[in-house]
């Protein structure tokens, strides 16, 4: 891929991998600490939906994720 945006995304992904030694557990712990710091400042951190499969389908979702 030669798209500049994709190259930038891959560079960011690689930099994050280097920062955490390609250790997903360390990355996840850092994300949790960041969320805790945000909550301490009074920011509202939303939890993901419990069962996303049961969320209502919108016309946009049906169009966007339609099988081609």
State pLDDT tens for residues 2-23: 689 999 999 999 999 999 999 9
**Domain annotation covers residue 54:** no
Q: What integer pLDDT is reported at residue 68 of this predicted model?
A: 54
Domain membership of residue 13 as a residue range:
1-47
Question: Which sign, positive or negative, has the C-alpha torsion 15, 18, 24, 25?
Answer: negative
The pLDDT of residue 67: 61
Q: Quick check: 37 and 45 in contact, CB under 8 A?
A: no
Q: Is residue 66 part of a domain?
A: no
Q: Is residue 34 part of a domain?
A: yes
Cα separation, 45 vs 24, whole angstroms:
21
Provide the domain count of the chain: 1
Domain annotation covers residue 33: yes
Please check whether residue 60 lies inside any domain of the structure: no
Residue 64 lies in a domain: no
């Amino acid at each position: 891929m030669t798209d500049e945006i994709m190259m930038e995304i891959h560079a960011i992904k690689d930099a994050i991998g280097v920062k955490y030694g390609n250790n997903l557990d360390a990355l996840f712990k850092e994300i949790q600490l960041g969320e805790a710091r945000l909550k301490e400042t009074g920011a509202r951190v939303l939890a993901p939906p419990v069962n996303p499969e049961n969320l209502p389908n919108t016309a946009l979702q049906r169009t966007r994720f339609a099988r081609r």
